[in-house]
Amino acid sequence: MGRYRQKLEDIKKLIGRLQKQMPEQISAFNNFMKAVESPGALDQKQKELTNVALAVAAQCEWCIALHVKGALKEGASKEEIIEAGMQAVLMHGGPALMYMTPLEEALEEYSDG
């Protein structure tokens, strides 16, 4: 299993543990997430590209793994995903630039099948 696919498994395991430990809170978070991610003024692709940028800005490799995969699923091109990541670099500078590395690695991993 690739590094970024493993990060997605890490997320699933974490949520599973937390659902047992804090079911009310995780349920509320999941409901909030579903509401926010539902189509509205922005479509799913736009939301995933926004989340890619936010993941790079937050320097969260798990978030990068999740949202790069989501953006690809919604039809975003590699170029659109990289450009979204660069928006984070514009706003967050050098540290965000370093997280373009995991973004590119996740793109390569998911593009290889």
Look up residue 73 and give its two tokens: 């699923």
The predicted structure's pLDDT at residue 18: 97
Question: If we measure between CA atoms, which residue out of 99, 33, 113 comes closest to residue 81?
Answer: 99
Confidence of residue 112 (pLDDT cuts 50, 70, 90): confident
Question: If we measure between CA atoms, which residue out of 70, 95, 75 comes closest to residue 11?
Answer: 70
Distance in angstroms (rounded) separating the CA atoms of residues 68 and 53: 10
Confidence of residue 3 (pLDDT cuts 50, 70, 90): very high
Confidence of residue 95 (pLDDT cuts 50, 70, 90): very high
pTM of the model: 0.92
Distance in angstroms (rounded) separating the CA atoms of residues 1 and 65: 13
User: Could you give all domains of the chain from N- to C-terminal order, each with its CATH number?
Assistant: 3-111 (1.20.1290.10)
The predicted structure's pLDDT at residue 113: 60
Give tens-digit pLDDT for 9-48.
999 999 999 999 999 999 999 999 999 999 899 999 999 9
